[in-house]
Structure 1
Amino acid sequence: MSIRTFVVGVGMTKFEKPGSKEWDYPDMAREAGTKALEDAGVAYDRIQQAYVGYVYGESTSGQRAVYELGITGIPVINVNNNCSTGSTALFLARQAVKSGTVDCALALGFEKMQKGSLGSTYEDREQPMLNHLKELFPLFEWGGEPVAPYMFGAAGREHMEKYGTTPEQFAKIGWKNHKHSVNNPYAQFQEEYSLDDIKAARVVYEPLTKLQCSPTSDGSGAAVIASERFVDEHDLWDRAVEIAGQSMVTDTKDTFTDKSAITLVGAKMSRLAAEQAYEEAGMGASDVQVVELHDCFSTNELLTYEALGLAAEGEGGKLVDSGDNTYGGRWVVNPSGGLISKGHPLGATGLAQCSELTWQLRGQADKRQVENVTGALQHNIGLGGAAVVTVYKPAR
């Protein structure tokens, strides 16, 4: 018999520009973790395992982080999966509960980042993205731009060439997400821009302008995951949200044989993860109303519409133009402002997405609230690579 799994508590910090606030990762973790435990009504000594995600940090930083919440001798597992680190911690916590190994686990993620574009930490060994870049360089010219916008910008160019997608359609995604973030007190940016502002911003790598790119950020997020038995025993049904389906997928051979920038940035990983998560949940894209997806760049949001089944292949631009990705449309995508405007502290992003969707399903998202939410979808991806897709529904 399959064990049902639930999010019973979530919490996060406001995401901040690196260096703009005097805090360190233990402070971030304490704030987000305490909020999640209080939201669940669960004391830390009831947590049986903790999965702690971060990309930039020293070994056992996970222990140092959760020791701010308590020191109880439980297993603490450090997690690093590039930009999908937070949702990987969530995946592992849910897996521990679903397997019956534990009844209550904590997933926590944080990041204290350097200013500016992402770069490598170690220069004396092969970079994990080298094989991806070797495949991409012959397809699209690289002029020394930061690698991430180059890769996702190239994927956008490929979509334009194959399907006629326009730079304005990508810009509309940046415009939408900045507009959504105005109502999110946790967002790093809460300023609305006009579409002309988005298009006129500094070009990073065509078709991407600066206001279509996620910033580096500091911050933390956390979630408490529990079994049905634990929810029953502690009478947590009033706050429980069910994880109905979840899948993690890494690169398949197609990544390196398709000769496609779109595949190299994980579109097929995302599609396969979505198919598997939908199958477990017994739900599909038509059964959700709100989506938090990995818009590290506006191009990736459009590609992900198609990977998640919100639009047919090649028709992501039509979805943008129809308005079916925002309030009043078929889905509300990234009501939080997404990575573009909420921010992207790598280890925390997946857990911030989980927090937003939990609030949406509970009806606690304040001015961001989507009407009549009965299903929610989360997508988080890290190149190198891993994609995690999670389907949520009300506990009862």
Structure 2
Amino acid sequence: MEQDVRVVGVGRSAYHRSTAGWYPVSALGEAIGCAMADASLEPMQVEQVYLCASGGARLPWQESLLRALGHVPPIVSVDASVAGASRALYLARRDIEEGRAHCVLVAGIDHGPADAPSEQSMALWTAAAREYTRRHQCRQETFAMIAVKAHQHAFHNPDADYGQPLGLDDVLAGQGGFAPLPRLQFAAPAYAASALLVCSTEFARRLALSRPVRILAQVCSDELRGPAVAPDTPLQSVGYERDMAVSWEVYERAGIGPADLQLCELHDRATVTELLLYEALGFCREGSAERFIEDGDNTYGGNIVVNPSGGLLGMGFGASTSGLAQCAELVMHLRDRAGSRQVPHASIALQQDAGEAGSIVTLYRRD
């Protein structure tokens, strides 16, 4: 019999744009310790660890686990290159659903060297922005407004290292970009550590764990993959149709729709990826993202608060941690513990994470 899965503890370090003062082993241990304290669990109750670590396994991660848990459970390493952090959560959730474990720690660490967006990726995203602009007469300022919103949100997030407020002119004047996307419309790399504790509903109830958050549904694009077809447009190349298929599958499994959501954390490595996801995730109709942005429906007071953390644009990007940091942010809001950036009446939230070859969409609900 499949088990429902709950997130019962979260821990997230501050994001750092350089390695100055950054000690990855200590940061990972602290993130795990915070997640354990948040869940009020005993260390020996952790049966399995999924670890996503960029830069290889050359640092003594066992030391972090030993420091935080007092023992080193079995560790499964997850490749950081393809939405690695979210894939680690996906695998842990599946283990619990299928009865192979009752309590799993999922951890991620980005320790370098951090990868800035490649020229090829930036050119591809810019081509997608140009194609969308041609199709729907979208203004350059619309893309820039997403970056402004991201930094406004990040300003209220103490973990964000790119949270300085920006004006529209600042973003449009960013140096060295590809019109219509200057460099301030691409997420910069960062170093961080994150950890989550997930468990079965039976485990959470038996231990009377406080305020768990239920994973309503989760879909990885691997599950939907059909015959390989080479993309023939920039929009297809950045995964627009893939993301649409994954999101509607997760809505169907959960029995809800985008109108039921109050907040979302999504993969905004560029402003154009966020704009396209508004439509792919069903937040607005195809071709209407510009009106959605200009009406403020992507922020506080609008239809849905997108990336209240500041997202990758405001926090920085790390392949091994971003998916876990997204989940931690949503869990804080669903528990009414997000401080000054709390989304009012948050009860259902969506997470979308993506990598080079796929995407993962997860729905959460407060208990």
Alignment TM-score, normalising by the size of structure 2: 0.94
State the SS of the aligned residue for 2:365.
strand
Residue type matched to 2:314 in 1? S
The equivalent position to 2:207 in structure 1, one of 199, 213, 234, is: 234
Return the offset for 1:290: 0.4
CA distance in 2, matches of 1:20, 1:297: 26
- Is this contact kept in 1: 2:54–2:112, CA < 8 A? no
State the SS of the aligned residue for 1:235.
coil
Q: Which residue of 2 aligns with 1:172?
A: 145
The equivalent position to 1:161 in structure 2, one of 114, 134, 145, is: 134
Q: Which residue of 2 aligns with 1:380?
A: 353
Return the offset for 1:209: 1.5
State the SS of the aligned residue for 2:241.
helix
- C-alpha distance after superposition, 1:154-176 (max 9, x if no partner): 21111112222221110000000
- C-alpha distance after superposition, 1:24-72 (max 9, x if no partner): x322211111111110011221111111112322368665653443364
State the SS of the aligned residue for 2:264.
strand
Structure 2 gaps, min length 5: none
Return the offset for 1:74: 2.9
- C-alpha distance after superposition, 1:270-328 (max 9, x if no partner): 22221222122211111110010011110100011111111222222221112100011
Structure 1 gaps, min length 5: 120-145
Q: Which residue of 2 aligns with 1:139?
A: none
State the SS of the aligned residue for 2:243.
helix
Q: Identity over the aligned pairs, expressed in percent?
A: 32
State the SS of the aligned residue for 2:14.
coil
Aligned pair 1:27/2:38, yes or no?
Answer: no
- Alpha-carbon spacing, 1:61–1:254, altered in 2? closer, same or farther (3 Å): farther
- Is this contact kept in 1: 2:92–2:104, CA < 8 A? yes
Structure 2 matches for 1:1-396, cutoff 5 A? 1-23=1-23, 25-58=24-57, 63=62, 65-70=64-69, 72=71, 74-82=73-81, 84-114=83-113, 117-118=116-117, 146-236=119-209, 238-250=210-222, 252=225, 256-383=229-356, 385-395=357-367
CA distance in 1, matches of 2:61, 2:280: 32
Return the offset for 1:102: 0.7
Return the offset for 1:203: 3.8
CA RMSD of the aligned region, Å? 1.9
State the SS of the aligned residue for 1:205.
coil
CA distance in 1, matches of 2:55, 2:358: 17
State the SS of the aligned residue for 1:323.
coil
- Is this contact kept in 1: 2:103–2:198, CA < 8 A? yes
Alignment TM-score, normalising by the size of structure 1: 0.88
- Alpha-carbon spacing, 1:108–1:22, altered in 2? closer, same or farther (3 Å): closer
- C-alpha distance after superposition, 1:361-395 (max 9, x if no partner): 00000011011111101000001x12010100012
State the SS of the aligned residue for 1:303.
helix
- C-alpha distance after superposition, 1:111-167 (max 9, x if no partner): 012366256xxxxxxxxxxxxxxxxxxxxxxxxxx2221222221111112222221
Return the offset for 1:88: 0.8
Residue type matched to 2:85 in 1? G
Instruction: Please identify, of 365-374 and 109-118, the stretch whose mean Cα deviation from structure 2 is larger.
Output: 109-118
Return the offset for 1:197: 1.1
State how many pairs are aligned. 366
CA distance in 2, matches of 1:109, 1:63: 13
- C-alpha distance after superposition, 1:304-354 (max 9, x if no partner): 111111122222222111210001100000110010011112100000000
